[in-house]
Structure 1
Amino acid sequence: MPPVVHRLGLVDYEPTWAAMRAFTDARTADTPDELWLLQHPPVFTLGQAGKPEHLLRETGIPLVKIDRGGQITYHGPGQIVVYLLIDLHRRHLKVRELVTLMEQALIDCLADYGLAAERKDGAPGVYIDGAKIAALGLRVRNGCSYHGLALNVDADLAPFSAINPCGYEGLQTIRMKDFGVTDGVDQVGERLLAHLLRLLPPHTPAAERP
């Protein structure tokens, strides 16, 4: 069974985070997986082990302390966010395998636009020539994931200068627009979604599980 896809548009961060947790808490062995495509108004999010000092200066952009892994990142319009609400056991996935799958979908999506992106050891996300174009962060509870990935399409990058992105001092952040990509968030999002759906292993029905 393929995941149910929800295209949510521009939605506030905190209610969306609450909805992810509520969905994960309420799901059963038969609840279909879901992928949420969306954008957020400007917000910084700080992961569970995140250090507040990675916010370098006050900007007026709200900071939300959340329950995913990783340090601090920025979300804003022009950045496609995909949240993956996946039952890992049902798709025979380990957490590291899901992270690798997400990175590969991003790499393949960027390759469609002629951009050569790559992973970086010890630093989840996707990079072009050492500069970060996409961030990843997950939480897994009761074998089910939430949170996900964010790809900079034509977002304002100025807020990234107010943080150490993902905890790395001086890490340059880039966007697809800088490479001449004219597709907007919705078009890139659909292409990225297709790669995620292609790479996700099939869902094993409850009756067939060991």
Structure 2
Amino acid sequence: MSAEPQRELEVLHLGRVDYLTAHRLQQERLARRIAGEVPDGLLLLEHDEVVTLGRGESISAADRSALEARGVELIDVERGGEATWHGPGQLVAYPIIELREGERDLHRYLRTLEQVVIDVLAGLGIEGSRKDGLTGVWIDEQKVSSIGVAVRRWTTWHGVSLDVSNSLETFGAFHACGLEPGIMTRVVDRAQVPTDDPLLANAFARAFATRFGRRPVE
């Protein structure tokens, strides 16, 4: 029996997109992917400043007050995980892919997403790692990437953030992912980011396609 042909991965570079617009784009793409109208997709972008609240434990009243005092918008979303920050200088990747037979294991999916980030960091000479019992990617004792996903009819949405050159100031005002303020780090504090790929979007797309066995098209 011949192997299944490699699936296409449509890579969409969207630039700066506000969160609610990106959420709507995800929902539209998700519905079309489930219907078989479009191939697997990878949305790459950055957001205006926002804190999203996943299905994990609710954000504390103190954290909510601190963020609201800074004028940061808080939005409840469908993904797993807790509260996290998005903003300019941070790469956000939303894979909208159909998990095939053999891929339908959400723990495996999360670990593969982590490996994609680890691969991107390795390309810059940075050693990324996992921590037992936690989702995301770390450099030494600081977190550089957060992951929160949702799946509908074995089709993924929501995704990954990678702190590249963004400010870490707001991270210091609340317990992102339920962790202590100040736990986050950035790629630019560890290595020089290529000027032709300032958000590492191209590197992420290549690593994602390799790890998930897709053929990237733009």
TM, length-normalised to structure 1: 0.89
Q: Once structures 1 and 2 are overlaid, which stretch shifts more, 122-131 or 178-187?
A: 178-187
CA deviation map 1:35-54 (0-9, x unaligned)? 00100011000002341215
Please say if 1:102 is aligned against 2:113.
Answer: yes
What letter corresponds to residue 76 of structure 1 in structure 2? Answer: G
Supply the AA of the counterpart residue of 2:43.
W
Q: Does 1:151 align with 2:162?
A: yes
For structure 2, which runs of at least 5 residues remain unmatched after alignment? 1-6
Of residues 24, 38, 49 in structure 1, which corresponds to 2:56?
49
Q: 1:129 aligns with which of 115, 137, 140?
A: 140
Provide the residue aligned with 1:183 in structure 2: 194
Contact 1:88–1:95 under 8 Å retained in 2: no
More displaced 10-residue stretch of structure 1: 38-47 or 177-186: 177-186
Counterpart pick for 1:77 among 81, 88, 98: 88
| Aligned residue number for residue 40 of structure 2 | 33
Pairing 1:195–2:207 present: yes
Query: Equivalent pairs: percent with the same residue?
Result: 31
**Deviating 4+ runs (over 6 angstroms):** none
Taking the aligned partners of 1:92 and 1:170, their CA distance within structure 2 comes to: 35
**Corresponding residue for residue 14 of structure 1:** 20
Distance 1:133 1:161 in 2: 14
1:146-173 deviation digits (Å, cap 9, x = unpaired): 0110101100110101110101134510
Distance 2:214 2:47 in 1: 30
The alignment's C-alpha RMSD in Å is 1.9
CA contact (8 A) 1:35 1:85 kept: yes
Query: Shift of residue 180 of structure 1?
Result: 3.5
SS in 2 for 1:194: helix
SS of residue in 2 equivalent to 1:101: helix
Residue type at the aligned position of 1:39: E
Segments of 5+ residues of structure 1 without an aligned counterpart are 204-210
Greater mean alpha carbon deviation, residues 94-103 or residues 77-86: 94-103
Aligned residues: 203
Give the equivalent residue in structure 2 for 1:116. Answer: 127
Secondary structure of 2:8's aligned partner: coil
For the residues of structure 2 that align with 1:55 and 1:113, how far apart are their CA atoms? 35
| Alpha-carbon distance in structure 2 between the residues aligned to 1:153 and 1:187 | 6
Would the alpha carbon gap of residues 186 and 7 (structure 1) be closer, same or farther in structure 2, given more than 3 Å must change?
farther
Residue pair 2:126, 2:191 contacting (<8 A) in 1 also:
no
Q: Offset of 1:55 from its aligned partner? A: 3.6
| Aligned-residue offset at 1:202 | 5.0
Shift, 1:15, TM fit: 1.4
Farther off after superposition, 75-84 or 176-185: 176-185
- 1:182 to partner: Cα distance: 3.3
Give the 3-state SS of the residue equivalent to 2:200 in structure 1.
helix
